[in-house]
Amino acid sequence: MDGGQRRADAAAMWRALIARRGGGSRVLPEPADEGAAMLKALFAPLTDPPSAADGLLIFAHLAQSLDGRIATASGASRWISGEADLAHTHRLRALAHAVLVGAGTVRADDPRLTVRLVPGPNPARIVVDPERRLETGRTVFHDGEAPTWLICAEDRAEAPPPGRAELIPVRRGPDGIDLLALLRTLRARGITHLFIEGGGATVGRFLAAGLIDRLHVAVAPLLIGSGVPALRLPEIATPEDGLRFEVALHRLGEDVLFDCAISRRRPIWR
Ligand SMILES: NC(=O)c1ccc[n+]([C@@H]2O[C@H](COP(=O)([O-])OP(=O)(O)OC[C@H]3O[C@@H](n4cnc5c(N)ncnc54)[C@H](OP(=O)(O)O)[C@@H]3O)[C@@H](O)[C@H]2O)c1
């Protein structure tokens, strides 16, 4: 098979995955080469119907250095992983109905959260900023490229939303925004496939609550030293209490992608 045929095969697989995301045919083509086979292996599980009782399939991605950092101490994270992982992240956005980030990510990166590096639709953008501490001028609130939902605590909903964003108040739980209440709100808005794009604190909250179906971690051959940790989880007593899961490894340029089938498990802390 020549280069042109390989590209066409991968493009056909990607179109079929996007159709699946939109509720079209669930049947995917038989991959004729490695590239299409990798797309199928990585993304078909993310376009399956949700099996959890809350009606959502939730996947997350982080790009970390070999020493477990997703940004330097000053918050700079561009770029830890390479171009292939960046395109991979855009594919994850395209397959989700909504992409969610914590306030720290919007503060540090001012991201657009749109799909630009691959063909595919933009997801709705969700920013979790319980106390409304973010500056109102952030790009995601104004560019109008896709709906933006600003999640805040119910007692912080008085001020009008910034730009074109819609304000969605959600009740507080014992430790920040109540994630189950948030998921119920998203499900009521028709979201069934949710992508948590970071940062580590936000992915950690979902993981600690047992709310991640699939976690993609791209590990880059880079040492950062001090910086923002990839995942923040409660302490456990012994490695036995940690989280184990099935994992598949894929090469993305210089980086190694861990595709972790978390299946809503969580570590045991006491
Ligand atoms: N390499 C990567 O893959 C990657 C991806 C994304 C981001 N980043 C980097 O990671 C850094 C930001 O990550 P981070 O872990 O520090 O922060 P983060 O996860 O982006 O945001 C954390 C903040 O979001 C709010 N939040 C989110 N969920 C909440 C909940 N359920 N309840 C209450 N508050 C909630 C809180 O805001 P308040 O404390 O203001 O209330 C919390 O402090 C940036 O430097 C960014 O560049 C890297």
Q: Tell me: the pLDDT tens digits for 9-58? A: 999 999 999 999 888 888 899 998 899 999 999 999 999 999 999 999 99
pLDDT for 14? 96
pLDDT for 23? 84
Does an H or E element contain 127, and which?
strand 124-128
Q: Where do the structural domains in the chain lie, given as residue ranges?
A: 35-261
Q: Mutation test of ligand 1: which of 88, 133, 168, 202 has the most ligand atoms closer than 8 Å to its C-beta?
A: 202
pLDDT for 206? 97
Question: Which band of pLDDT confidence, cut at 50, 70 and 90, is reported for residue 223?
Answer: very high
Continuous H helices in 57-199: 83-95, 103-109, 139-142, 179-188
Q: Are 193 and 234 in contact (CB under 8 A)?
A: no
Phi-psi region of 196 (alpha: psi -120 to 50; beta: other; left: phi over 0): beta
Q: Does ligand 1 lie within 6 Å of residue 105's CB atom?
A: yes
CA of 268 relative to ligand 1 center, distance in Å: 23
Residue type for position 82: G
pLDDT for 25? 83
Q: Mutation test of ligand 1: which of 62, 228, 233 has the most ligand atoms closer than 8 Å to its C-beta?
A: 228
Q: Does ligand 1 lie within 6 Å of residue 205's CB atom?
A: yes
List strands edge to edge, sheet with 166-170: 166-170, 148-153, 124-128, 98-102, 193-198, 57-65, 214-220, 255-261, 246-252
Q: Is the pLDDT of residue 101 over 80?
A: yes
Q: Does ligand 1 lie within 6 Å of residue 227's CB atom?
A: no
Atom of ligand 1 nearest to the CA of 75: 45
pLDDT for 84? 97
**Which residue carries 């089938």 as its tokens?**
261
What are the residues whose beta carbons fall under 8 Å from the beta carbon of 218, sequence distance 6 or more? 61, 62, 63, 64, 81, 85, 88, 252, 255, 256, 257, 258
Atom of ligand 1 nearest to the CA of 229: 15
Cα gap 99→10, rounded to integer Å: 24
Atom of ligand 1 nearest to the CA of 61: 3
Q: Is the pLDDT of residue 1 over 70?
A: no
Q: Is the pLDDT of residue 142 over 90?
A: yes
CATH superfamily of 35-261: Dihydrofolate Reductase, subunit A (3.40.430.10)
Q: Is the pLDDT of residue 3 over 80?
A: no
Cα gap 53→55, rounded to integer Å: 5
* % the chain with pLDDT above 70: 99
Average pLDDT, the chain: 95
Q: Does ligand 1 lie within 6 Å of residue 153's CB atom?
A: no
Paired with 259 in beta bridges are: 216, 248
pLDDT for 26? 83
Report, as an integer, the average pLDDT of 157-173.
97
Tens of pLDDT, residues 240-253:
999 999 999 999 99
CA of 128 relative to ligand 1 center, distance in Å: 8
Cα gap 38→79, rounded to integer Å: 23
Q: Does ligand 1 lie within 6 Å of residue 111's CB atom?
A: no
Report, as an integer, the average pLDDT of 163-192.
97
Least confident segment among 67-76, 124-133, 152-161, 228-237: 228-237
Q: Give the SS3 label for residue 21.
A: helix
Atom of ligand 1 nearest to the CA of 103: 24
pLDDT for 8? 86
pLDDT for 173? 94
Q: Is the pLDDT of residue 2 over 90?
A: no
Atom of ligand 1 nearest to the CA of 205: 31
Atom of ligand 1 nearest to the CA of 218: 3
Continuous H helices in 157-244: 179-188, 200-208
